Structure formats: C-alpha cells, structure tokens
C-alpha cells in the first residue's frame, strides 16, 4: 500500500488524536494510530478502549488498506519536518513502513490492523445537535467542579440532562457544584447520562471553529461528530446524586460585589490561611464585607475590607478559598451575587452579566465550620 500526505496536515490531526493515548495501556497496539485508506480518503483512529477518536484527511492514493503505526515515533518524526509531502510505503506482508521525505528515508515497524479494537457502533440511538461554542462554554463552566474520587466514579464526569425545552449540565465533587442550563436547545426525548472527563477535555481542546456538534447517544455510549472528527466514549455507569436537593431554595441574604475585587482579595488573604483547610472567613455587616484568614500554627493572619451591596442579616460564614477562587475564575461575569441562608448552608454564586441569551449558570460552594 502507498499513500502521499502533507506532513503539517498529518501532524495537526495526529496531535488532536494523541490526547486519547494513555500511558498505561493494557493492549500494546493502543500505543499506535490506526490508518485506514480508502478511495483517496484516509481515516486515522486512536483509542484507549473507553474513548475512541477518529479524523479524516485527504490523501493521494489509489490503494486501499489498513495499518497501525507507532504513535510516539511518528509524532516525534513529523514534528521535525517543515511542511512537505511525505510518501508512506507499507509492506502488507511484514507490516514494515517506509516514510520518504524530501531529505531522507525512515523505516519503522507497524502492526496488523485487524488486532486494533473495533470502533463501537451505536445501535438504537437518539440524536441532538448543539452549537460548538455553546458546548465548549458549558464544558468550561462546569467540568472543573467534577471530582477525582475513584470510589465515586459518577462524580468524576459531567451529568447531562436533555429535554425538549433545554439541556442541563451539572458537575460536583460534593464540596462544590455547578449547574449550567441552555434554554435554546431541544432534544427528541427526555434522557440523562454521565459523560467522562477525558472525552470532554478532548472536545474542548479540538473544537475551535463555530460549527454544529451532532450528539448521538444510547444507554452505553455517546458519539460526538463535528467537522471531520468523531469521538465515541463509554458513558459512566451509575445514578447521579440528586443535586437539586442540596441547592437551598430560600436565600434571604444577598451580597452583590465585583468579581475581580472579590477574587483578588481572596487570593491575597488565602496566602495566610491554613494550608490544610484553606479556610477564609467572610463577615458581612451592612455594606461592608470583611475577608480574613489565619494559620494558628505559624501565627499568620490577614484581613481585608471591601464595600459591597448587601441585603439581609449580619452574618459570618467560612469557605474553602481554593473552591471560591476556582468558581470566580470560571463564572465569566464582572459582577456576582453571593446568596446565603445560614452559616451552615451552602452559598450560591450567580453571575449578573456576561451571560448569553438562553443561558443560566448557578455555582454552589459548601461552607466550612468556623473556628470560634
């Protein structure tokens, strides 16, 4: 088999696919890319058994065939080339590969393509379409709140709830939670599933243009198709926690403040907080917000005062500064509302601007017990 392809174009596509490659593969062949050439078009596939990603590029070839090529060796080689045509010659009997460039010849060994795991097919699936920028925005605003606890795998992904009126994205690690809703979305049927972190990160890193993303899903897998790329992932099995139950409905204490002012203040004050608890104290009296922290082990202490708009009773509440910083970094708003009901109930962050039409974002952070 013989095919000719541009080095820069091939490298660009392989770098996208390399995000799927895992260092701890149980099957050695998964350290390879699968190349399938048919009728002048080439499909390249990478997989880790949980996630499979494929992309198509044009190639100059009258041959049809399949071969797997070692991923790291090929990527390292392509990175050194300026843009030029490369000729790949494949020995179908020995799986030997010869790459011819303008300057030289490079030989490496491939493997039998039939040993590469078969790409999952989605039977009896439903379909929906979402705008790429909308989808990436939802991933950016929610995924950071997901957990890393292997004992609770359902919390390690992003929960998606589709209906005829809207799509809801939720991520939580039991300490913080983000709920992001798009009201400008419609699905054929009401359903929900949990998407793993890895394919979502791949989608976020791959999607750069404004296009439609086709979502195809059944009970076990979801497939995303956009441009010339397809990503198929296995869904996380399990029941997602009842997240609505932890969102307080009555929050009479409402604080309005500049996001950047609050973020800068928390960043400074948190330097002096205990390195284990990262605890900061918010004391609100009238229109004054006092943010303080202390680390009794080292006699470190910090305190700042900010002016704010506040409606409600004077109160003190403790938060983990790491979680607050993460949320304020991702909220995408110049001003926020911090809504609270009591010092032992969750605080809710709501953006006051920067939202698109049909977009709703709610961020929740659990309080920490204050040292008296």
Do 161 and 135 form a contact (C-beta atoms < 8 A)? Answer: no
The DSSP result for 69-119, as a single string, is EEHHHHHHHHTTPPS-EEEEEE-TTT-EEEEE-SS-EEEEE-B-GGGSPPP
Q: Distances in Å between the alpha carbon of 248 and those of 33, 62, 315, 362, 364?
A: 49, 64, 17, 12, 9
Give this prediction's pTM.
Answer: 0.92
Q: What is the pLDDT of residue 372?
A: 60
Per-residue model confidence as pLDDT tens digits over 125-155? 899 999 999 999 999 999 999 999 888 999 9
Per-residue confidence (pLDDT) for residue 23, from 0 to 100 = 86
Say which DSSP state 368 is in. Answer: B
Kindly report, residue by residue over 75-94, the tens digit of the pLDDT. 999 999 999 999 999 999 99
CB environment 286-310: b (16+ within 10 A), e (fewer): eeebbbbbbbeeeeeebebebebeb
Can you say whether the dihedral through the CA atoms of 238, 216, 209, 23 is positive or negative?
A: positive
* Token duo for residue 344: 């032992």
Q: For residue 86, what pLDDT is reported?
A: 96
Intervals of the chain under pLDDT 50: none
What's the CA gap between 153 and 136, in Å, rounded? 22
| Residue in this structure with the two tokens 């392989």, named with its chain if needed | 14
Q: Which domains does the chain have, with CATH numbers?
A: 2-115 (3.10.150.10), 126-244 (3.10.150.10), 247-365 (3.10.150.10)
Q: Residue 213's Cα: distance from chain center in Å?
A: 15
pLDDT tens, residue by residue, 177-231: 999 999 999 888 899 999 999 999 999 999 988 999 999 999 999 999 999 999 9
DSSP single-letter state for residue 155: G
């Amino acid at each position: 088999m013989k095919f000719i392809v541009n080095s820069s174009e091939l490298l660009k596509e392989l770098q996208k696919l390399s995000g799927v490659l895992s260092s701890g593969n149980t099957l050695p062949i998964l350290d390879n890319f699968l190349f399938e050439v048919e009728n002048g078009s080439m499909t390249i596939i990478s997989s880790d058994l949980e996630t499979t990603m494929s992309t198509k590029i044009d190639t100059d070839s009258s041959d049809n065939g399949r071969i797997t090529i070692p991923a790291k060796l090929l990527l390292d080689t392509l990175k050194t080339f300026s843009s030029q045509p490369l000729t790949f010659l494949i020995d179908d009997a020995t799986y030997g590969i010869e790459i011819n460039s303008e300057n030289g010849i490079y030989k490496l060994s491939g493997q039998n393509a039939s040993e590469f795991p078969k790409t999952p097919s989605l039977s009896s699936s439903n379909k929906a379409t979402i705008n790429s920028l909308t989808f990436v925005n939802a991933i950016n605003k929610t995924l950071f709140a997901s957990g890393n606890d292997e004992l609770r795998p359902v919390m390690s992904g992003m929960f998606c709830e589709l209906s005829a009126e809207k799509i809801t994205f939720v991520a939580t690690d039991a300490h913080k939670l983000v709920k992001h809703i798009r009201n400008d979305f419609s699905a054929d049927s009401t359903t929900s599933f949990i998407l793993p972190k890895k394919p979502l990160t791949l989608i976020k890193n791959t999607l750069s243009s404004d296009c439609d993303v086709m979502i195809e899903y059944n009970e076990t897998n979801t497939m995303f198709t956009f441009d010339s790329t397809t990503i198929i992932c296995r869904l996380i099995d399990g029941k997602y926690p009842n997240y609505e139950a932890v969102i307080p409905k009555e929050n009479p204490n409402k604080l309005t403040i500049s996001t950047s002012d609050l973020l800068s203040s928390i960043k400074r004050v948190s330097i002096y907080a205990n390195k284990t608890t990262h605890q900061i104290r918010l004391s609100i009296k009238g229109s004054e917000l006092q943010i303080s922290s202390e680390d009794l082990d080292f006699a470190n202490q910090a305190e700042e005062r900010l002016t704010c708009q506040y409606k409600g009773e004077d109160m003190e509440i403790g938060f983990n500064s790491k979680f607050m910083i993460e949320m304020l970094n991702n909220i995408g708003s110049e001003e926020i509302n911090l809504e609270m009901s009591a010092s032992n109930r969750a605080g809710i962050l709501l953006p006051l601007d920067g939202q698109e039409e049909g977009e709703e974002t709610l961020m929740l952070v659990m309080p920490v017990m204050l040292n008296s």
